[in-house]
Amino acid sequence: MIWTGGLTGFWIIALLTLHGADMGESQRNSLNEPDVPFPPACPTAQNLAAVCHHGQGRPRYPASFFPRSGASHFRRRGDAINRLESWYTWCCNVQLAHQSSQILCCAQQAWKQALSQFCVDEYSTMTLPYECCADRGDARWTCFNSELPNPDYNPTPGYTAPPVPEEPGFNFDENAC
């Protein structure tokens, strides 16, 4: 009888330990889904310094982050974040006459272009698209800029982003600033 109770206790501790363990590269939430904080905040004068200076401290989502099957909507979110971070790097490093207003305008254009591409990708599948993609014009941007997981673009403590390829496709229009 004592042996059964000891064995039960062992299994409870083992299960609790496994439940709390980080099992591989992917971070999971309680539903065992990849954790991709989304959507990203729109760049502002208040968060621009963090956008430009803490980029390597914010998560990237290489293919190895996701399970081999399923989670395609999380993969599209990760792709959008990777694309956006690549374009932020371009905006922050391109020497836009050292004018923070030009850098901010560039980052805001990158944000809109990355999320527009995300919506194109969302509608190219047979699944329900992300809710903000159904909106048009300013309503879309207001939707994307609400309920933000990291509005200040704070880095993740102890994290350094892995190298990811530069994303093509960003077109900065300095005349739109």
pLDDT (0 to 100) of residue 98: 62
Asked whether residue 63 is domain-assigned, the answer is yes
Q: Is-above-0.85 flag for pTM?
A: no
Average pLDDT for 72-101: 88
Asked whether residue 65 is domain-assigned, the answer is yes
Q: How crowded is residue 120: how many other Cβ atoms within 10 Å of its Cβ? A: 11
The residue range of the domain holding 122 is 38-176
Asked whether residue 8 is domain-assigned, the answer is no
Assign residue 169 a region: left if phi > 0, alpha if psi is -120 to 50, beta otherwise? Answer: left
Asked whether residue 119 is domain-assigned, the answer is yes
Whether residue 109 has pLDDT greater than 90: yes
Give the C-alpha separation, 29 to 6, whole Å. Answer: 30
In this predicted model, what pLDDT tens digit does every residue of 110-150 receive, in sequence order?
999 999 999 999 999 888 999 999 999 999 999 999 989 99
Q: Distance of CA 72 to CAs 33, 43, 77, 81, 83, Å?
A: 11, 26, 9, 14, 16
Give the C-alpha separation, 92 to 104, whole Å. Answer: 9
Asked whether residue 57 is domain-assigned, the answer is yes
Asked whether residue 12 is domain-assigned, the answer is no
Contacts of 166 (CB under 8 A, 6+ apart): 86, 89, 90
Estimate the crossing angle of helix 137-144 against helix 100-123, to 10 degrees. 100
Asked whether residue 79 is domain-assigned, the answer is yes
As for how many domains the chain has, the answer is: 1
Higher pLDDT: 1 or 39? It is 39
Asked whether residue 42 is domain-assigned, the answer is yes
Higher pLDDT: 64 or 30? It is 64
Give the C-alpha separation, 83 to 9, whole Å. Answer: 47
pLDDT (0 to 100) of residue 17: 33
